[in-house]
Structure 1
Amino acid sequence: MEEKQPKKVLSEQERLELAAQLDKDLDAFISSLEKKRYTEGWPEDRWEEEMAKHPFFMQKSPEPGEELSPLMEGLQQLKYDPQENTEQELADTYKEDGKFYMQHRKFRMAVLSYTEALRYKVGDAAYKAILYNNRSAANYMLKNYRTSLQDAQKALELNPDYDKARWRAAQCASALDRFELCVKLCDTILQRDPTNTAAVEMRKACLAKKATQQRDSRKEARQEREKQERWDRLVTELKKRMVKFEERKALDDERFLRPRLAPLEDFMVSCDENGVLSWPVVFCYPEFQTTDFQQQLLETTTMQDVLEQLFEEPLECDKAGLYRAKKVNVYYENRILGLAYLVDKSKTIREIVAERTFVAFQGTLTFYILVKGSKQEESFITQTRIPLKIEY
């Protein structure tokens, strides 16, 4: 029998030297292998992006229109393939999708999912009622109150005992100011649950809003009636005075009587309860190319009185102090005839407007003030005016 040789015991130094030699041999072996580029996995510079697209690692659902990875497309086809799923399974799948989107506040996607689920004619009335109610909830969050109300009412048709759908319908009716419907729904809710404080508060708020709306409607109707009465009275007085306007349909629509100049645009000719007119008036100073405005000049005022008021304080541009009531003449233009006419300052505004040659423009009276006997007056009188071609 062969005798066993005793096993040699290595010292600590020898062990370290042997380990170093083995590491060196392994490195030499790896270096001698053929080097090949790794092409099977994700690129180093885009591995995080690619991982995010992987169905097992993605943290959010793909957005509509976003390109899907082949694996994701395959899983979706398997999930929604009518060849692999029954109609009930597909309806359930879309129903769960809708729930998922609702939880993540993707309300538009939830609406689409519940709509897809409703396309399948499966499930009993209670099942369909849930789908309609869920879609109603999604539309409500999108503030599509009319559509939400329709879905909630459809859910109630399918399941008259569906309290969630009834409450959603009441919320929509309130948002749409359909007060009678809202009160009716709240009454039904309270018949079934008299302790429902939310329904009590909504019913109370709805009745208050209804009362306010009715009050506002009556006020609006009264204001509209009064506005029409003022307009009719104004038209009557203008016709009585035979006032002429450049605009052919000036008395058919108040828009033609509204002044266009900024200082006067809020002061249309008006008629008080005694039948007295107040006119917006422009006073032009051709010498200085500037203007004065009277927003509500009573027709009972004489032109002399108007001038006295205008020149109570000297015009800033009148350095010579020539513009005084007794030193000026006043004219108006008839643009249809292309002529200027001197105003009798002793006449009232009503008498001047009643003259056969006076024509108002854009609901405004326009007068020109010049110093008597001045070159500016002579130039104003003799200037060439091209008549407007207007047919009455």
Structure 2
Amino acid sequence: MDPKPPEEDETMDQFMEKFRTQKYEKAFNEETWEEEFEKIPMFMKEVPDEIDPEKNPELACLQSMLFDVEEQAQSCKEEGNDYFKEKNYKKAITAYTEGIKKNCKDVELNAVLYTNRAAAQFHLGNYRSSLNDSIAARKQKPDHLKAVIRGALCYMEIKNYSEALKWCDEGLQISPTEKKLLETRTKADKLHRAAERDARKLKQAEKKKQAEKDSLFLAIKDRGIKLLEKSKKGDEDEDEETSGTVLNDISSSENVPGSQVVLDENGRLHWPVLFFYPEHSQTDFISAFHEDSRFIDHLNEMFSQDLPQWDTDQKYVAHNLEIFFEDETSQCFYQVDPESTLLEVLQHSRFCVKAGTPSFLIFVKKSTFCKTYFSDKKRQRIH
């Protein structure tokens, strides 16, 4: 490495000597450092009303930058307004958003930016976003009337009439003759009253429905009829018996949607009932089988004159039929006396109503199919 030239060493020595002997001109004075420190923009506690660029160039520069931010936000607002007039609401929202991002110190301008963006969101059907911007505008300036009006209109659209009334009242305190607020308040009050009235009617209807349901379950419980409910524990295929418990099972039949057991004005039950014909894979549905009706009466009516088309051999005649129900727990089939009433069968110790619909199997007496069907099954006659 080549040694430094003598003139460079001499220059360095002179610099170091000057550094040691001369005081830094811009250094803080030991006695007045607090006052000098206060003059630095970053540490100022108060900003003077008038700033002399020659005496305080740093603060003047910062002030200039601040005014630039406000000018940029103002420019974004004007750009958004132009898009809004053209009904290009998406671009208007983008412009207003850029203005809000400037974080300028002009509260009035910020309130306008939020309110204008709320208007653009409103025209796009974004009522929640519009409402949020209206709230944000009022945080900037609580008495900003356009923000109050926009917020009230948003609450009307989302059907929150109580809040719409509140915002209208707050706006009318600012401007008691504001036509839009007066009109909106009148409409909100009318709809609010209607909503409250509808809510009361619905509550009364639900109360009545629950009372009817409670009476229905009490009638079932008093009769000792067992209901079969899907187990809520373990295997979904497992069933459990219950009696007199409030179950969805009797409110609507799974087999026939919309059908359900009904308690009439005389306190008697009418059940939806299914008849299955395994030999032909056919079914019959009786929508209202009175609990005091006999099975033979229904069979006589069903197979008296017009025989079903699937009964090609015309074997299904009331007196020639056998009725069974299945006890799934014991896997035993119980034969029902046709002279029995529905209630007598439902009260049998081994009968359970499943899915809200009592179900029975119908066979032709001593038919080959009947013998084959029960060849590997247990069956028992009801005594």
Alpha-carbon distance in 2 for matches of 1:253, 1:284? 25
1:382 to 375, 379, 383: 375
Alpha-carbon distance in 2 for matches of 1:195, 1:84? 38
**Do residues 338 (structure 1) and 320 (structure 2) align?**
no
Alpha-carbon distance in 2 for matches of 1:133, 1:96? 13
**Do residues 270 (structure 1) and 252 (structure 2) align?**
no
- The answer (yes or no) to whether the contact 2:77–2:95 under 8 Å persists in 1 is yes
RMSD: 2.9
- The answer (yes or no) to whether the contact 2:74–2:109 under 8 Å persists in 1 is no
- The answer (yes or no) to whether the contact 2:107–2:141 under 8 Å persists in 1 is yes
1:372 deviates by 2.0
Residue in 1 that maps onto 2:95: 113
Residue type of the partner of 1:286? P
Residue in 1 that maps onto 2:151: 169
Q: Which has the higher strand share?
A: 2
1:191 deviates by 6.4
1:197 deviates by 4.6
1:254 to 230, 248, 262: 248
- Structure 2 unmatched runs, 5+: 1-64, 230-239, 379-383
1:1-392 correspondence runs (5 A): 86-187=68-169, 196-247=178-229, 248=240, 251-255=245-249, 258-261=252-255, 264-313=256-305, 314-384=307-377
- Structure 1 unmatched runs, 5+: 1-82, 386-392
Query: What SS is found at the alignment partner of 1:278?
Result: strand
1:243 deviates by 2.3
- The answer (yes or no) to whether the contact 1:249–1:256 under 8 Å persists in 2 is no
Alpha-carbon distance in 2 for matches of 1:226, 1:179? 28
Residue type of the partner of 1:358? F
Alpha-carbon distance in 2 for matches of 1:190, 1:92? 29
Residue type of the partner of 1:325? A
Query: What SS is found at the alignment partner of 1:331?
Result: strand
Alpha-carbon distance in 2 for matches of 1:144, 1:278? 51
Residue type of the partner of 1:342? Q
Query: What SS is found at the alignment partner of 1:357?
Result: coil
What is the percentage of aligned positions where both structures have the same residue?
31
Q: Deviations over 1:26-80 (max 9, x none)?
A: xxxxxxxxxxxxxxxxxxxxxxxxxxxxxxxxxxxxxxxxxxxxxxxxxxxxxxx
Question: Structure 1 174/249 Cα, relative in aligned 2: closer, same or farther at 3 Å?
Answer: farther
Query: What SS is found at the alignment partner of 1:201?
Result: helix
Alpha-carbon distance in 1 for matches of 2:75, 2:177? 37
Alpha-carbon distance in 2 for matches of 1:255, 1:345? 27
Q: Deviations over 1:87-115 (max 9, x none)?
A: 22332343234334323444344334323
Residue in 1 that maps onto 2:48: none
- The answer (yes or no) to whether the contact 2:148–2:167 under 8 Å persists in 1 is yes
Q: Structure 1-normalised TM-score? A: 0.68
Q: Structure 2-normalised TM-score? A: 0.70
Alpha-carbon distance in 2 for matches of 1:130, 1:193? 18
Residue type of the partner of 2:189? L
Question: Structure 1 200/116 Cα, relative in aligned 2: closer, same or farther at 3 Å?
Answer: same
Question: Structure 1 355/177 Cα, relative in aligned 2: closer, same or farther at 3 Å?
Answer: same
1:305 deviates by 1.5
- The answer (yes or no) to whether the contact 2:274–2:359 under 8 Å persists in 1 is yes
Task: State the aligned residue count.
Answer: 302
1:194 deviates by 6.4
Residue in 2 that maps onto 1:27: none
Alpha-carbon distance in 2 for matches of 1:342, 1:292? 19
Alpha-carbon distance in 1 for matches of 2:300, 2:375? 27
1:148 deviates by 1.9
- The answer (yes or no) to whether the contact 1:170–1:186 under 8 Å persists in 2 is yes
1:199 deviates by 3.6
Alpha-carbon distance in 1 for matches of 2:363, 2:149? 76
Q: Deviations over 1:252-302 (max 9, x none)?
A: 4415753222xx210122323443222111111223221111112111111
Alpha-carbon distance in 1 for matches of 2:314, 2:355? 33
Residue type of the partner of 2:359? T
Residue type of the partner of 2:309? E
